[in-house]
Structure 1
Amino acid sequence: MLSRRILLAGVLQGAAWAAWAREPGYRIIGWDALLPAGWDPWAEFSAGGVDLRQLPDDDPRARAALARLRRVWDQAPTNAALDGALVRLPGYVVPLEQTAQGLRELLLVPHYGACIHTPPPPANQIVHVRLDTPARSVGTMDTVWISGRLQVARSETSEAVSGWKLAGQRVERYTGTPSTTGLR
Protein backbone atom coordinates (compact mmCIF):
# COMPACT_ATOMS: atom_id res chain seq x y z
CA MET A 1 0.00 0.00 0.00
CA LEU A 2 1.00 3.63 -0.40
CA SER A 3 1.78 3.92 3.30
CA ARG A 4 5.00 1.99 2.71
CA ARG A 5 6.39 4.96 0.85
CA ILE A 6 5.87 7.42 3.66
CA LEU A 7 8.61 9.99 3.89
CA LEU A 8 8.32 10.23 7.65
CA ALA A 9 9.32 6.63 8.46
CA GLY A 10 10.61 7.05 11.98
CA VAL A 11 12.80 10.12 11.52
CA LEU A 12 10.91 12.51 13.76
CA GLN A 13 13.18 12.44 16.78
CA GLY A 14 15.39 14.74 18.81
CA ALA A 15 15.20 17.99 20.71
CA ALA A 16 14.99 20.23 17.61
CA TRP A 17 11.90 18.38 16.41
CA ALA A 18 10.31 18.43 19.85
CA ALA A 19 10.65 22.23 20.08
CA TRP A 20 9.34 22.77 16.56
CA ALA A 21 6.44 20.38 17.04
CA ARG A 22 5.25 22.25 20.12
CA GLU A 23 4.60 25.47 18.20
CA PRO A 24 0.99 26.33 19.01
CA GLY A 25 -1.67 25.23 16.58
CA TYR A 26 0.38 23.16 14.14
CA ARG A 27 0.27 19.40 13.89
CA ILE A 28 2.91 17.29 12.14
CA ILE A 29 1.27 14.72 9.90
CA GLY A 30 2.46 11.98 7.58
CA TRP A 31 0.97 11.05 4.23
CA ASP A 32 -1.23 8.30 5.66
CA ALA A 33 -3.15 10.95 7.63
CA LEU A 34 -4.48 12.31 4.33
CA LEU A 35 -6.23 9.02 3.55
CA PRO A 36 -9.70 8.21 4.83
CA ALA A 37 -9.83 5.18 7.13
CA GLY A 38 -10.02 1.91 5.24
CA TRP A 39 -9.43 3.35 1.76
CA ASP A 40 -7.55 0.93 -0.50
CA PRO A 41 -6.18 2.45 -3.73
CA TRP A 42 -6.03 -0.99 -5.34
CA ALA A 43 -9.46 -2.32 -4.30
CA GLU A 44 -11.08 -1.84 -7.71
CA PHE A 45 -8.19 -3.58 -9.45
CA SER A 46 -7.80 -6.75 -7.40
CA ALA A 47 -10.71 -8.54 -9.05
CA GLY A 48 -11.03 -9.49 -12.69
CA GLY A 49 -8.69 -12.45 -13.08
CA VAL A 50 -6.11 -10.62 -15.23
CA ASP A 51 -2.66 -10.07 -13.75
CA LEU A 52 -1.93 -6.54 -14.95
CA ARG A 53 1.76 -6.94 -14.12
CA GLN A 54 2.04 -9.56 -16.87
CA LEU A 55 0.53 -7.43 -19.64
CA PRO A 56 2.83 -5.65 -22.11
CA ASP A 57 2.42 -1.87 -22.26
CA ASP A 58 0.93 -1.99 -25.76
CA ASP A 59 -1.81 -4.46 -24.75
CA PRO A 60 -5.24 -2.78 -25.02
CA ARG A 61 -6.18 -4.27 -21.63
CA ALA A 62 -3.16 -2.54 -20.05
CA ARG A 63 -4.08 0.82 -21.63
CA ALA A 64 -7.70 0.42 -20.49
CA ALA A 65 -6.57 -0.48 -16.95
CA LEU A 66 -4.28 2.58 -16.79
CA ALA A 67 -7.11 4.86 -17.95
CA ARG A 68 -9.40 3.32 -15.31
CA LEU A 69 -6.70 3.72 -12.65
CA ARG A 70 -6.35 7.43 -13.50
CA ARG A 71 -10.13 7.97 -13.22
CA VAL A 72 -10.32 6.18 -9.85
CA TRP A 73 -7.20 7.82 -8.42
CA ASP A 74 -8.15 11.31 -9.64
CA GLN A 75 -11.34 10.96 -7.57
CA ALA A 76 -9.61 9.44 -4.53
CA PRO A 77 -11.40 10.39 -1.29
CA THR A 78 -9.72 12.58 1.32
CA ASN A 79 -9.75 12.53 5.12
CA ALA A 80 -12.34 15.23 5.80
CA ALA A 81 -11.24 15.43 9.46
CA LEU A 82 -8.15 17.40 8.32
CA ASP A 83 -10.11 20.04 6.42
CA GLY A 84 -9.02 23.40 7.85
CA ALA A 85 -6.24 21.97 10.06
CA LEU A 86 -2.92 23.74 10.60
CA VAL A 87 -0.33 21.14 9.61
CA ARG A 88 3.31 20.48 8.83
CA LEU A 89 3.94 17.90 6.13
CA PRO A 90 7.19 16.68 4.54
CA GLY A 91 7.37 15.87 0.85
CA TYR A 92 8.92 16.39 -2.55
CA VAL A 93 8.51 19.56 -4.62
CA VAL A 94 6.94 19.64 -8.07
CA PRO A 95 7.18 23.32 -9.12
CA LEU A 96 4.17 24.94 -10.81
CA GLU A 97 4.89 28.69 -10.68
CA GLN A 98 8.39 30.14 -10.44
CA THR A 99 8.88 33.92 -10.41
CA ALA A 100 11.93 36.15 -10.12
CA GLN A 101 11.21 36.27 -6.37
CA GLY A 102 11.19 32.46 -6.04
CA LEU A 103 8.85 29.49 -6.07
CA ARG A 104 5.26 30.61 -5.56
CA GLU A 105 3.16 27.53 -6.30
CA LEU A 106 3.91 23.79 -6.20
CA LEU A 107 2.60 20.30 -5.74
CA LEU A 108 3.83 18.48 -2.65
CA VAL A 109 4.07 14.73 -3.24
CA PRO A 110 4.99 11.76 -1.01
CA HIS A 111 7.72 10.11 -3.05
CA TYR A 112 10.54 10.99 -5.41
CA GLY A 113 9.55 11.21 -9.06
CA ALA A 114 5.81 11.49 -8.46
CA CYS A 115 4.18 13.59 -11.20
CA ILE A 116 7.53 13.90 -13.01
CA HIS A 117 8.91 10.49 -14.04
CA THR A 118 6.06 8.25 -12.97
CA PRO A 119 2.29 8.46 -13.12
CA PRO A 120 0.91 10.72 -10.39
CA PRO A 121 -0.19 9.17 -7.12
CA PRO A 122 -3.87 9.29 -6.11
CA ALA A 123 -5.28 12.82 -5.67
CA ASN A 124 -5.51 12.30 -1.90
CA GLN A 125 -1.70 12.00 -1.88
CA ILE A 126 -1.04 15.29 -3.73
CA VAL A 127 -1.18 18.70 -2.04
CA HIS A 128 -1.47 21.85 -4.17
CA VAL A 129 0.50 24.53 -2.29
CA ARG A 130 0.33 28.28 -2.79
CA LEU A 131 3.06 29.97 -0.72
CA ASP A 132 2.39 33.22 1.17
CA THR A 133 5.97 34.29 0.46
CA PRO A 134 7.91 32.91 -2.53
CA ALA A 135 10.62 30.43 -1.55
CA ARG A 136 14.08 30.86 -3.00
CA SER A 137 16.49 27.98 -3.51
CA VAL A 138 13.76 25.35 -3.77
CA GLY A 139 13.59 23.27 -6.93
CA THR A 140 12.20 20.17 -8.56
CA MET A 141 12.12 17.12 -6.27
CA ASP A 142 13.76 18.95 -3.35
CA THR A 143 12.59 17.54 -0.03
CA VAL A 144 10.93 20.09 2.21
CA TRP A 145 8.68 20.61 5.20
CA ILE A 146 5.68 22.82 4.44
CA SER A 147 3.48 24.38 7.10
CA GLY A 148 0.08 25.93 6.59
CA ARG A 149 -3.68 25.51 6.59
CA LEU A 150 -4.82 22.35 4.80
CA GLN A 151 -8.13 22.25 2.94
CA VAL A 152 -9.99 19.60 1.00
CA ALA A 153 -10.04 21.09 -2.51
CA ARG A 154 -9.73 19.14 -5.73
CA SER A 155 -7.79 20.93 -8.48
CA GLU A 156 -6.23 19.95 -11.77
CA THR A 157 -2.86 21.24 -12.93
CA SER A 158 -0.68 20.37 -15.91
CA GLU A 159 1.06 17.78 -13.70
CA ALA A 160 -1.73 16.06 -11.76
CA VAL A 161 -5.07 16.19 -9.99
CA SER A 162 -4.74 17.08 -6.31
CA GLY A 163 -7.24 16.47 -3.54
CA TRP A 164 -5.80 19.04 -1.15
CA LYS A 165 -4.94 22.73 -1.07
CA LEU A 166 -2.50 24.23 1.41
CA ALA A 167 -1.89 27.91 2.08
CA GLY A 168 1.85 27.59 2.71
CA GLN A 169 3.17 29.77 5.50
CA ARG A 170 6.60 28.20 5.93
CA VAL A 171 8.93 26.15 3.72
CA GLU A 172 12.17 24.64 4.91
CA ARG A 173 14.58 21.98 3.76
CA TYR A 174 13.83 18.47 4.94
CA THR A 175 16.60 17.19 7.19
CA GLY A 176 14.65 14.55 9.05
CA THR A 177 13.67 16.98 11.78
CA PRO A 178 12.13 20.41 11.28
CA SER A 179 14.26 23.35 12.35
CA THR A 180 13.02 26.52 13.98
CA THR A 181 13.72 28.76 10.99
CA GLY A 182 12.03 28.63 7.60
CA LEU A 183 13.76 28.57 4.23
CA ARG A 184 13.13 31.67 2.15
Structure 2
Amino acid sequence: MLGPRDENGYANLDWSHMVPPEDIKTLENAPPVLHVGNQRMKQIGTLHTVGALNNQKVKLSGYVVPLESDDDGKMVEFFFVPFYGACIHVPPPPPNMLIHVKLVKGIDTPSLYSPFTLKGVLRTEVTQNAMAASAYDMVDASLGTYREADADADRLRQAFE
Protein backbone atom coordinates (compact mmCIF):
# COMPACT_ATOMS: atom_id res chain seq x y z
CA MET A 1 0.00 0.00 0.00
CA LEU A 2 2.80 2.43 0.87
CA GLY A 3 6.00 2.82 -1.08
CA PRO A 4 9.46 2.64 0.47
CA ARG A 5 10.24 5.25 3.11
CA ASP A 6 12.71 8.05 2.42
CA GLU A 7 15.53 9.11 4.75
CA ASN A 8 13.01 11.09 6.87
CA GLY A 9 10.54 8.23 7.19
CA TYR A 10 7.96 9.43 4.63
CA ALA A 11 6.43 6.77 2.40
CA ASN A 12 4.99 7.49 -1.05
CA LEU A 13 1.21 7.15 -1.09
CA ASP A 14 -0.85 6.66 -4.22
CA TRP A 15 -4.23 8.43 -4.08
CA SER A 16 -6.05 5.25 -5.11
CA HIS A 17 -4.78 3.48 -1.98
CA MET A 18 -6.81 5.87 0.18
CA VAL A 19 -10.03 4.33 -1.10
CA PRO A 20 -11.14 1.04 0.48
CA PRO A 21 -11.72 -1.80 -2.01
CA GLU A 22 -15.50 -1.73 -1.44
CA ASP A 23 -15.59 1.89 -2.68
CA ILE A 24 -13.68 1.35 -5.93
CA LYS A 25 -16.95 0.66 -7.80
CA THR A 26 -18.10 4.20 -6.96
CA LEU A 27 -15.01 5.61 -8.65
CA GLU A 28 -15.55 3.46 -11.73
CA ASN A 29 -19.05 4.93 -12.13
CA ALA A 30 -18.07 8.53 -11.34
CA PRO A 31 -19.17 11.32 -13.68
CA PRO A 32 -16.45 12.69 -15.95
CA VAL A 33 -14.31 15.56 -14.72
CA LEU A 34 -15.02 18.49 -17.02
CA HIS A 35 -13.13 21.75 -16.58
CA VAL A 36 -15.91 23.90 -18.01
CA GLY A 37 -18.62 26.05 -16.54
CA ASN A 38 -18.77 27.71 -13.17
CA GLN A 39 -21.21 25.59 -11.21
CA ARG A 40 -19.93 23.25 -8.56
CA MET A 41 -20.98 19.67 -9.06
CA LYS A 42 -22.12 17.26 -6.34
CA GLN A 43 -19.49 15.25 -4.48
CA ILE A 44 -19.86 11.48 -4.74
CA GLY A 45 -18.29 8.74 -2.66
CA THR A 46 -18.11 7.87 1.02
CA LEU A 47 -16.23 8.73 4.18
CA HIS A 48 -14.85 5.18 4.40
CA THR A 49 -11.12 5.13 5.03
CA VAL A 50 -8.24 2.68 4.99
CA GLY A 51 -7.46 2.20 8.67
CA ALA A 52 -3.86 1.11 8.02
CA LEU A 53 -3.10 4.66 6.78
CA ASN A 54 -4.02 6.30 10.08
CA ASN A 55 -1.03 8.07 11.67
CA GLN A 56 1.34 7.15 8.83
CA LYS A 57 4.07 9.54 7.64
CA VAL A 58 3.33 9.92 3.94
CA LYS A 59 4.05 12.08 0.94
CA LEU A 60 1.97 12.45 -2.19
CA SER A 61 1.62 14.83 -5.08
CA GLY A 62 -1.48 16.78 -5.97
CA TYR A 63 -3.07 20.20 -6.02
CA VAL A 64 -4.15 22.83 -3.48
CA VAL A 65 -7.68 24.16 -3.00
CA PRO A 66 -7.38 27.13 -0.59
CA LEU A 67 -9.93 27.38 2.22
CA GLU A 68 -8.75 29.98 4.76
CA SER A 69 -6.18 32.75 5.03
CA ASP A 70 -4.74 34.56 8.05
CA ASP A 71 -4.87 38.31 8.68
CA ASP A 72 -1.81 38.78 6.44
CA GLY A 73 -3.49 37.03 3.49
CA LYS A 74 -1.36 33.89 3.90
CA MET A 75 -3.04 30.54 3.28
CA VAL A 76 -3.41 28.53 6.50
CA GLU A 77 -6.01 25.93 5.53
CA PHE A 78 -6.64 23.96 2.33
CA PHE A 79 -7.84 20.75 0.76
CA PHE A 80 -5.20 18.69 -1.02
CA VAL A 81 -6.68 16.95 -4.07
CA PRO A 82 -5.52 14.57 -6.83
CA PHE A 83 -6.43 16.79 -9.81
CA TYR A 84 -6.40 20.52 -10.53
CA GLY A 85 -9.58 22.53 -10.30
CA ALA A 86 -11.20 20.06 -7.89
CA CYS A 87 -13.97 21.57 -5.74
CA ILE A 88 -14.00 24.76 -7.80
CA HIS A 89 -15.84 24.05 -11.06
CA VAL A 90 -15.66 20.28 -11.30
CA PRO A 91 -17.03 17.67 -8.90
CA PRO A 92 -14.94 17.34 -5.75
CA PRO A 93 -13.08 14.06 -5.43
CA PRO A 94 -14.70 11.47 -3.17
CA PRO A 95 -14.21 12.32 0.53
CA ASN A 96 -11.71 9.46 0.84
CA MET A 97 -9.55 11.11 -1.83
CA LEU A 98 -9.42 14.52 -0.13
CA ILE A 99 -7.00 15.62 2.58
CA HIS A 100 -7.83 18.55 4.83
CA VAL A 101 -4.71 20.47 5.93
CA LYS A 102 -4.21 23.25 8.48
CA LEU A 103 -0.77 24.85 8.51
CA VAL A 104 0.90 26.13 11.66
CA LYS A 105 2.33 29.08 9.71
CA GLY A 106 0.64 30.65 6.68
CA ILE A 107 2.19 30.54 3.21
CA ASP A 108 1.59 32.46 -0.01
CA THR A 109 -1.45 31.01 -1.75
CA PRO A 110 -0.21 28.85 -4.62
CA SER A 111 -1.70 28.51 -8.08
CA LEU A 112 -4.58 26.04 -8.34
CA TYR A 113 -2.97 24.61 -11.46
CA SER A 114 0.51 23.92 -10.07
CA PRO A 115 1.29 20.47 -8.63
CA PHE A 116 2.86 20.18 -5.18
CA THR A 117 4.16 17.47 -2.89
CA LEU A 118 2.54 17.27 0.53
CA LYS A 119 4.32 15.58 3.44
CA GLY A 120 3.00 14.90 6.91
CA VAL A 121 1.19 12.50 9.20
CA LEU A 122 -2.05 11.29 7.58
CA ARG A 123 -5.01 10.73 9.88
CA THR A 124 -8.49 9.33 9.36
CA GLU A 125 -10.38 12.44 10.46
CA VAL A 126 -13.59 13.79 8.90
CA THR A 127 -13.88 17.45 7.90
CA GLN A 128 -17.02 18.88 6.31
CA ASN A 129 -17.62 22.37 4.99
CA ALA A 130 -19.70 24.07 2.31
CA MET A 131 -17.21 23.08 -0.39
CA ALA A 132 -16.77 19.36 0.31
CA ALA A 133 -16.21 16.65 2.88
CA SER A 134 -12.88 14.92 3.48
CA ALA A 135 -12.22 11.63 5.25
CA TYR A 136 -8.53 12.37 5.93
CA ASP A 137 -6.52 15.19 7.39
CA MET A 138 -2.82 15.81 7.80
CA VAL A 139 -0.81 17.13 10.73
CA ASP A 140 2.80 18.32 10.77
CA ALA A 141 2.24 19.10 7.10
CA SER A 142 4.65 20.74 4.71
CA LEU A 143 3.95 21.70 1.13
CA GLY A 144 6.83 21.56 -1.32
CA THR A 145 7.52 21.98 -5.00
CA TYR A 146 6.50 18.98 -7.06
CA ARG A 147 9.35 17.00 -8.59
CA GLU A 148 8.72 14.14 -10.99
CA ALA A 149 10.70 11.80 -8.78
CA ASP A 150 8.26 12.42 -5.91
CA ALA A 151 5.24 10.76 -7.52
CA ASP A 152 3.31 10.54 -10.74
CA ALA A 153 0.76 13.34 -10.36
CA ASP A 154 0.60 13.74 -14.15
CA ARG A 155 -0.67 10.18 -14.55
CA LEU A 156 -3.32 10.80 -11.91
CA ARG A 157 -4.35 14.11 -13.43
CA GLN A 158 -4.81 12.45 -16.80
CA ALA A 159 -6.84 9.64 -15.23
CA PHE A 160 -9.35 12.19 -13.94
CA GLU A 161 -9.66 14.09 -17.24
> Into which bin does the TM-score normalised by the smaller protein fall?
0.7 to 0.9
Unpaired segments of 5 or more residues in structure 2?
A: 33-40, 151-161
Distance 1:77 1:32 in 2: 13
Q: Mapping of 1:84-99 within 5 angstroms?
A: 84-99=55-70
For the residue of structure 1 that corresponds to 2:103, the secondary structure is strand
Q: What's the secondary structure of 2:16's corresponding residue? A: helix
Contact 2:101 2:141 (8 Å CA) reproduced: no
Taking the aligned partners of 2:28 and 2:6, their CA distance within structure 1 comes to 40
Task: Give the 5 Å matches for 1:154-169.
Answer: 154-169=126-141
Q: CA deviation at 1:27?
A: 0.9
RMSD: 3.0
Q: 1:171 corresponds to which letter in structure 2?
A: L
Counting matched residue pairs gives 139
Note if 1:151 corresponds to 2:123: yes
Q: Partner letter of residue 81 of structure 1?
A: A
Which residue of 2 is the match for residue 23 of structure 1? Answer: 7
Matched residue type, 1:175 = R
Secondary structure of 1:32's counterpart equals: helix
- Distance between the aligned counterparts of 2:21 and 2:110, measured in 1? 33
* Contact 1:151 1:164 (C-alpha < 8 Å) held by counterparts: yes
Change (3 A) 1:139 1:35: same
Whole-angstrom distance in 2 between the partners of 1:146 and 1:124: 16
Q: Report deviation, 1:44.
A: 10
Q: Give the fraction of aligned pairs with identical amino acids, expressed as a percent.
A: 29
Higher strand share: 2
Structure possessing the higher radius of gyration over alpha carbons:
1
Is the 2:97–2:134 Cα contact (8 Å) retained in structure 1? yes
Q: 1:78: Cα distance to partner?
A: 1.1
Question: What does residue range 47-58 of structure 1 map to in structure 2 within 5 Å?
Answer: none
Measure how far apart 1:77 and its partner are: 1.3
Q: TM-score, normalised by structure 1?
A: 0.64
Structure 1 153/139 Cα, relative in aligned 2: closer, same or farther at 3 Å?
same
Tell me the residue number matched to 2:145: 173
Name the CA distance, whole Å, in 2 between partners of 1:153 and 1:117: 25
Deviations 1:11-57 (Å, cap 9, x if unpaired)? xxxxxxx9xx62232111110121123432438969xxxxx99xxxx
